[in-house]
Amino acid sequence: MSTQHHRRPTCRLCGGKRLTEVVKLVPTPPANAFVPASELDREQERFPLDVFFCEDCAHVQLLDVVDPRVLFEHYVYVSGTSPVFVRHFEDYAAFVMERFKPVAGGLVLDIGSNDGTLLSFFQKAGMRVLGIDPAQEISAEATARGIPTICGFFGADKGAEIAAAHGKAEVITANNVFAHIDDLSGVVDGVRGLLSPSGVFVFEVSYLVDVFENTLFDTIYHEHLDYHSVKPLIRFFAAKGMELVEAIRVGSHGGSLRGIAQLKGGPHAVGASVAEAVALEERLGLDRAATLAKFAADIEALGAELNAVLKSLKAAGKRVGAFGAPAKATTLMYHFGIGPELVDFIIDDSPLKQGLYSPGMHIPVVSSADGFAKKPDYLVILAWNFAKAIIDKNAAFRSGGGKFIIPIPKVEVV
């Protein structure tokens, strides 16, 4: 077995051992492992991508854990480059300031702070800010831009270290990272030790309800260890001496959950959103493994449809490229078998990805100018959560006769 990965034997939230496999996806390399031309002859290791359901607490998760050093050290995603996310983080900071009214000048810590975009809005609102992120270049750049950022992983020890150096935190945020860390229990121990008595822990994760209802299966990749729902989280936080006070659905990543927790007995009343989310999850049957069999069937149906469309276009001699090279494209391309024989190139607006090749399949990533110069007839929008923005920005492609293919939540040619 690879030394870069292990399969955990227990549920990440409750420690239970009754785990049922509900979805089996095609193994992939790390979804963000884009490679330079100099490494094309080196085969990239692929890891299992199987989804499990905990029969004890209903948590849906991956058990195969790829070493975070393999996943995150050369992370090429920078949140500040996407205007949609900048706007999202601005609204996010405003929401936290308004709903919880943290003490002015208090500490806000963002776990997985990336380039510091979210923290910059808290800083503007008069808070003291601190980021922590494992990516070396990105954390150094954030610090240089005025957002002090520790390079490293957050856990119980780090929480105590930060509390000693900076005092207790009024707000701790963690976006998407709360689904990225194998030792969630250690993270929450760190949060509990660092949070002030009136403080809140705010996290955003993709929401199992949206993943299930819209077949967002490509959000399943090794960095995302957890597909959270509210019912298992209530139990998890309670066992950790904390309490979930809000569970709000937000639009990012095709549908996410913004959860907010405080120390047990904290000052904030539990909002109606928590009970509403549990009722919705029960109505959908997400607390039963059998329900997830439908999800697996929906994935296969979607793949058959997309393959049929692409193969007929290729047979008709059409030139097909793709637009957007997000991490989730790796899952979609591997599971649906969409490789270089169907898609010639991928356009991505991030200069950090241009000139690189897609993980494993090694499809070249090019700039818009270079991609459109190849005169594609069709472009598959792999970054489907930005479909509208991509279509609007590239109106000239459509007016010149080109068409976009949106693969998810359903296959659409526009």
Residue written as token pair 């010639």: 344
- CA-based angle 72:77:78, to the nearest 5? 120
Q: Chain centroid to CA 80: how far? A: 15
Tell the smallest beta-carbon distance from residue 56 to Zn ion (Å): 5
From the list 3-11, 90-98, 189-197, 211-219, the region that binds Zn ion by CB under 5 A is 3-11
Alpha helices in 101-182 (DSSP H): 117-124, 136-144, 156-166
Residue written as token pair 């790390």: 30
Residues 22-61 that bind Zn ion (CB under 5 A): 54, 56-57, 59
Instruction: Give the β-pairing of 169-175 and 128-133.
Output: unpaired
Residues 366-405 that bind Zn ion (CB under 5 A): none
Tell the smallest beta-carbon distance from residue 59 to Zn ion (Å): 5
For 24-56, the DSSP string reads EEEEES-TT--B-GGGTTSPPP-EEEEEEEETT
Tell the smallest beta-carbon distance from residue 227 to Zn ion (Å): 13
From the list 15-23, 202-210, 297-305, 333-341, the region that binds Zn ion by CB under 5 A is 15-23
Q: Are 195 and 263 in contact (CB under 8 A)?
A: yes
Beta carbon nearer to Zn ion, 231 or 328: 231
Beta carbon nearer to Zn ion, 11 or 163: 11
β-partners of residue 150 are 132
Computed on alpha carbons and rounded to an integer, the radius of gyration of the chain in Å comes to: 21
Beta carbon nearer to Zn ion, 71 or 184: 184
Question: Length of the chain in residues, anyone?
Answer: 414
Give yes or no for residue 158 binding Zn ion (CB under 5 A): no
From the list 13-21, 92-100, 131-139, 387-395, the region that binds Zn ion by CB under 5 A is 13-21
Tell the smallest beta-carbon distance from residue 10 to Zn ion (Å): 8
The site for Zn ion, by CB under 5 A, has a size of: 8
From the list 8-16, 29-37, 289-297, 302-310, the region that binds Zn ion by CB under 5 A is 8-16
26/22 Cα distance (integer angstroms): 14
Tell the smallest beta-carbon distance from residue 289 to Zn ion (Å): 12
Tell the smallest beta-carbon distance from residue 111 to Zn ion (Å): 22
Per-residue CA distances from 394 to 55, 389, 398, 402 (Å): 47, 9, 7, 10
- Binding to Zn ion by CB under 5 A, coded x per residue (else -) over 56-85, reads xx-x--------------------------
Tell the smallest beta-carbon distance from residue 233 to Zn ion (Å): 11
Q: Is the dihedral of CA 92, 98, 102, 107 positive or negative?
A: positive
Tell the smallest beta-carbon distance from residue 242 to Zn ion (Å): 17
From the list 16-24, 60-68, 165-173, 270-278, the region that binds Zn ion by CB under 5 A is 16-24
Separation of first and last alpha carbons in the chain: 45
365/354 Cα distance (integer angstroms): 5
Beta carbon nearer to Zn ion, 57 or 71: 57
From the list 9-17, 184-192, 287-295, 360-368, the region that binds Zn ion by CB under 5 A is 9-17
Contact pick of 11, 119, 135, 188 for Zn ion (by CB under 5 A): 11
Shortest CA distance to 115 belongs to which of 140, 90, 94, 152?
140
Q: Are 127 and 202 in contact (CB under 8 A)?
A: no
Q: Chain centroid to CA 253: how far? A: 7
Give yes or no for residue 90 binding Zn ion (CB under 5 A): no
Q: Are 114 and 133 in contact (CB under 8 A)?
A: yes
Give yes or no for residue 16 binding Zn ion (CB under 5 A): yes
Beta carbon nearer to Zn ion, 57 or 302: 57
Tell the smallest beta-carbon distance from residue 232 to Zn ion (Å): 6
Beta carbon nearer to Zn ion, 18 or 145: 18
Contact pick of 5, 8, 14, 143 for Zn ion (by CB under 5 A): 14
Per-residue burial over 299-326, b = 16 or more CB atoms within 10 Å of its CB, e = otherwise:
beebbeebeebbeebeeeeeebbbbbbb
Tell the smallest beta-carbon distance from residue 12 to Zn ion (Å): 7
Q: Token pair for residue 407? A: 């693969």
Q: Token pair for residue 323? A: 């637009």
- Binding to Zn ion by CB under 5 A, coded x per residue (else -) over 256-295, reads ----------------------------------------
The contact set with Zn ion (CB under 5 A) reads 11, 13-14, 16, 54, 56-57, 59
